Structure 1
Amino acid sequence: MSDEAVTLGFVCVQNAGRSQMATAFAERERSRRGLDDEVRVLTGGTHPADEVHPEVVEAMAELDVDLSDRVPRAVSTAELNDATVVATMGCSTLELDADVEVRDWALDDPHGQSVEEVRQIRDEIRQRVSALFDEYASA
């Protein structure tokens, strides 16, 4: 075990779609790799929505990931400053004041999309999260 945990942040404007999927995949990846003590997962939005988008809940349920009880939350600059790296989801309106490495994944917004389109976004997020773990959280 390392003395300092790696913190992976997943941020977008509403914290109701892409960042929620990324967070769920990161939590699953952390558990699968046995890194519960080494990796922290942070998520939030700059202007959180009231709920996770229904089409996102549906697409994730297909993979046995239940997002129905998740609540979008605001993220603070202080939280972001404590992160190792922050992935933004392609939200052009999102500007982070934090002093942290930021990667913009430039993903399409799943809100209002068909389940087929959301599946494509979901699968790309899953691959990107796995690659981020390979880079930052290798055991």
Structure 2
Amino acid sequence: MRRVLSAVLIVLAFASPALAVNPSEMLKDPAQEHRARELGKDLRCLVCQNQSIDDSDADLAKDLRVIVRERISAGDSDDQVKTFVVDRYGDYVLLKPPFKGTTLVLWVGPFVLFAAGLWVVFGFYRRRATGSQPPPAPLSAEEQRRLDKLLKEKSP
């Protein structure tokens, strides 16, 4: 049993993450394939949205992987490949979009939402602490008399 467990641990230690890249898509030159993989890590699958094109099985991700490899094979630099893909699909295709006016919401939005949430929570507790309801009106003489009568009847 110990040997089996050791073998499983060794296999898991050397296991690499499963990527969606098909062998038919891979470039013959290992250096170019490495460049394609590195670029694929930076490009977002537009269908899955939270995966890179290397991790996604979507058809559009496959098309983007093919485009990246075609551009690399054609001799484009990494920047030229990224520029080509961004020109075609916009800044959203980048997993790390640049900081500029059109992507300002992506960079500042989470902080604005967090600050708004803090403001709402602070306002809720502040209103609760100050007591937003007015105190009840004092009992009239008739109400006080009836209350006293009820309390005397209930007491043993």
Same fold (TM over 0.5): no
| Structure holding more helix per residue | 2
The TM-score range, normalised by the shorter chain, is: under 0.3
Greater relative contact order structure (CA < 8 Å, 6+ sep): 1
| Structure holding more strand per residue | 1
- TM norm structure 1: 0.26
- TM norm structure 2: 0.24
* Structure index of larger Rg: 2
